[in-house]
Structure 1
Amino acid sequence: MAGLVGAANIPELRKRVIFTLFMLLVYRMGVQIPTPGINGEALAAFFAKNADTLFGMFNMFSGGALERFSIFALGIMPYISASIIIQLLTVVIPQLEALSKEGEAGRRKITQYTRYGTVLLSVIQGFFIASGLEGMTSPVGVPIVIDPGIEFKLLTVLTLTSGTAFIMWLGEQMTERGIGNGISLIIFAGIVARMPAAVGNTVEFIKSGELSLIFVPIIIALIFLVVGFIIFIETSQRRIPIQYAKRVVGRRVYGGQSSHLPLKLNVSGVIPPIFASSIMMFPATIGSFVQVDWVQQLSAAFSPGTVYYYSLYVAMIVFFCFFYAAVTFKADDVAENLKKNGGFVPGIRPGKKTAEFLDYVLTRLTVVGAIYLSAVCVMPTILISKLNVPFYFGGTALLIVVGVAIDTISQIESHMIMKNYDGFLKSGRKGR
């Protein structure tokens, strides 16, 4: 509480927090605006029947926008998919790799390519979704699309693409002018907004007898246990000791102090589950709308709850853990910077040997992080199939919510520390 009061007393931080909350409010308002040409009651009945399938998962990441088929129905997933594609291409295409090393100018160019990719993927997904909706009905046979045809397809593609582009802009604005990572906060807001409905569904399950009252304390205890475990892992670090050699410049002696290089136990954070979920949803969503036998069979084989789905899901999480760790942490660059500044790891030669040691430590940490993420994210299988719990209480949702909350709080604390340092400097100048 004292930290929140301290944050409110810092004008710049207060403005950033208010701006972020306002952007999230705009996002939640957009979720309530429906796309034209849809029978809302028929669509709601369809989602009520398919809440525990792929549609329920996609609906969770869109913050309930899909079940209303709002202008934000595609959510932020096309942007995430485009980011994945661009990052993968950066490793293979030398021109993109050169751009990534050009600093701010290169980053802006890559961001521009990501935006183009987002629009392209939104158009493709919007077209397939519009085509699929035309052939879908509610459980009692009421058509979901009021007036199907080419006009409906074009209007839907334009609406959904514009909605995704607007969400992308909101996320970028929150990252630059607000607090925390804007894209992660949008997903966070969508999941949190769905949790009250999930609690209501659980109460209805208990009243109807579908969920035994005996399991409720177990579920609550399990949620607290998972949250505590996530917090413990996300805040755990492997601190590599760093020693700086003494340097004499004129009459002054520099260096000689000890420090450490902190490496998180889960280096990749919540990015691998988000990336993996995005990739798993994209082909399965298209397969669900294309009425071809082999496509339907393939879609059913890789639907949530099947062995194939979770095997591929875990494999994707492990892949993105190693990929993201390799992209964000360059062992060679860190070793070179340490060498230039007179720093070294005790017992390890500076330069190439230090880079090899850092890479070895990072690989071991990534293995632990991948196992942890996979274990937490496959929990929905047990909860849904055994206890009949709404998907929103699953490990993926809790991981994203807790991870984004920890990251945002850390950024708030960093701003407060910087402000305190400014205060020390100012008081020092006054003392002179």
Structure 2
Amino acid sequence: MLETFRNAWKITELRKKILYTLMILVVFRVGVALPVFGVSPGALKSMVEGSGNLLGYLDMLTGGAFAKSTVFALSITPYINASIIINLLTIAIPPLERLAKEGEEGRRKLNRITRYVALGLAVALAIAYYFLLKNQNALTYTKGFSGIFSAIIIVATFTAGAMLIVWLGEQIDKKGIGNGISLIIFAGIVSRGSTVISKAVAYFQLAAEGEYKYYIYLPIILVLAVVVIGFVVLMTNAERRVPVQYAKRVVGRKMYGGQSSHIPIKVNMTGVMPIIFASSIISIPGTIKALFFKNATKGFWASFLGLFDYNSLAYAIIYFMLIMAFNYFYTAVQYNPLEIANNLRKNNGTIPGIRAGKPTVDFITRILSKVTFIGAIFLGIVAVMPIGLTAISGVNIALGGTSILIVVGVALETVRTLEAQMMMRHHKGFLE
């Protein structure tokens, strides 16, 4: 990876793209630190610190801006939700499905629709965020005309911040390196590294004061983190290759086709999306508890919502099952075995030993089912492992499985993009 960046830096055009990308990420980090008029910074910090609720999850995606109540407090969350909604509606609504199949022009129209949906979600989330701040007594002006004017300014600022991040991501796509939205999320998560270091220092101080168990737990957790990262890299690149043989055909005096190929089916074909869906769903009870039952210790609701505490066994089991379910669901939405089989038949391709038609569909379905199961187990283990380590050792793992998957996935994707760019520039062409 370092060798790839070193070689890319030697190429002037790629060096400009890398510097442009870094400049955009610096602008993003500046926006994370900019305060909002009429809002007390850090008012939600105590509420967000409970990592088992939705607010803690949002704070992770925003790189800490949510807890600080800064300009980029909503970050890329509205755009991510809008993209998920549009992708799901593309399967259910025929006009959107037709747009998705119209090539570049259709994708542009879908992107425009996604931005409009993101704008609507940003306004709704900004209003909800305003009332959350108001309930926490974090606003300077709340009454009379000054309160109304302040509310309009705060909602507009949060909305503008969310849409500005979308624009920054698009600029990286056009003039930089890698996927802009992914890199912004990557920068937000990596910025939490200082939190990890400060917590590690605090645990070493506890060990020096007599809590000797931390001298054992911290090195073990460090080794496991390295192993998990290697495991994530391995599974991210792993794929099941289904062999395909194309029939020979004669056109005039020439023979075409007859070559062998394969259909690559990635083990982790859904990426981090099942974990994002599962985290959003399972975090709702913890958020309700933080908002309405914060001081409750007795009663049905306190006991029921307590099952969803981050370090509880019930939380880990439900979380794991939700990841499995969403992984199967997202795979079913993205991959259609019937469509794959039809495309093979149109191109005179067959899977060796499998008849065309329904047998091919059944074969691809079985392969997808097995690969999806392995991918779901992989995602579940990576997501639940930090919870188990926290429960056993008492060491709060600041970067969870979602963070590791996003960071490793974006890093691998960016390196592949750089390698592709360098390969294009080193290709001598047909005239030399």
**Shorter chain as normaliser: what TM range?**
0.7 to 0.9
SS at match of 1:429: coil
Deviation at 1:388, TM superposition (A): 3.1
1:348 lines up with 2:354 in the alignment? yes
> Residue in 2 aligned with 1:28?
29
> Residue in 2 aligned with 1:194?
192
The residue identity in structure 2 corresponding to 1:237 is: E
Aligned ranges 1:197-346 → 2 under 5 Å: 197-209=195-207, 212-280=214-282, 285=287, 288-289=290-291, 302=308, 304-306=310-312, 309-346=315-352
> Residue in 1 aligned with 2:423?
417
Distance 2:290 2:319 in 1: 18
Deviation at 1:94, TM superposition (A): 3.0
1:308-365 deviation line (CA, Å, top 9, x unaligned): 5445533443343233323433433333333333322111123443233222211211
> Residue in 1 aligned with 2:92?
92
1:215-268 deviation line (CA, Å, top 9, x unaligned): 111111110111111111111111112222222333333222222222211111
The residue identity in structure 1 corresponding to 2:103 is: G
Deviation at 1:164, TM superposition (A): 0.8
Contact 1:133 1:144 in 2 (8 A): yes
Which one is further off, 286-295 or 212-221? 286-295
TM-score (norm 1): 0.85
Contact 1:243 1:343 in 2 (8 A): yes
Deviation at 1:290, TM superposition (A): 6.0
The residue identity in structure 2 corresponding to 1:25 is: V
Alignment RMSD (CA, Å): 3.0
Query: CA separation of 1:127/1:291 partners in 2, compared to 1, >3 Å: closer, same or farther?
Result: farther
User: Identity of aligned pairs, percent?
Assistant: 42
Deviation at 1:25, TM superposition (A): 1.6
1:86-134 deviation line (CA, Å, top 9, x unaligned): 2222333333333333333332333233222222222222222222222
Query: CA separation of 1:96/1:306 partners in 2, compared to 1, >3 Å: closer, same or farther?
Result: farther
Deviation at 1:4, TM superposition (A): 2.6
Deviation at 1:43, TM superposition (A): 5.2
1:396-423 deviation line (CA, Å, top 9, x unaligned): 2112111221122222222333334x32
Contact 2:274 2:323 in 1 (8 A): yes
The residue identity in structure 2 corresponding to 1:184 is: S
Contact 2:41 2:70 in 1 (8 A): no
TM-score (norm 2): 0.85
Distance 1:159 1:287 in 2: 28
The residue identity in structure 2 corresponding to 1:80 is: I
> Residue in 1 aligned with 2:66?
66
Aligned ranges 1:152-163 → 2 under 5 Å: 152-163=150-161
> Residue in 1 aligned with 2:372?
366
Distance 1:326 1:255 in 2: 31
Q: Return 5+ residue gaps in structure 2 as ranges.
A: none
Contact 1:192 1:401 in 2 (8 A): yes
Q: Return 5+ residue gaps in structure 1 as ranges.
A: 137-142
> Residue in 2 aligned with 1:383?
389
Which one is further off, 325-334 or 55-64? 325-334
> Residue in 2 aligned with 1:139?
none
Query: CA separation of 1:355/1:365 partners in 2, compared to 1, >3 Å: closer, same or farther?
Result: same
Query: CA separation of 1:98/1:301 partners in 2, compared to 1, >3 Å: closer, same or farther?
Result: farther
Distance 1:276 1:200 in 2: 29
1:145 lines up with 2:139 in the alignment? yes
Deviation at 1:273, TM superposition (A): 1.9
Query: CA separation of 1:333/1:415 partners in 2, compared to 1, >3 Å: closer, same or farther?
Result: farther
Distance 1:250 1:207 in 2: 81
Contact 1:66 1:74 in 2 (8 A): yes
SS at match of 2:123: helix
The residue identity in structure 2 corresponding to 1:170 is: L
Query: CA separation of 1:154/1:315 partners in 2, compared to 1, >3 Å: closer, same or farther?
Result: farther
Distance 2:203 2:336 in 1: 50
Number of residue equivalences: 418
> Residue in 2 aligned with 1:131?
131
Deviation at 1:299, TM superposition (A): 6.4
SS at match of 2:398: helix
Contact 2:52 2:283 in 1 (8 A): no
The residue identity in structure 2 corresponding to 1:145 is: L
Distance 2:338 2:405 in 1: 31
Query: CA separation of 1:166/1:41 partners in 2, compared to 1, >3 Å: closer, same or farther?
Result: closer
Distance 1:300 1:39 in 2: 30
SS at match of 1:361: helix
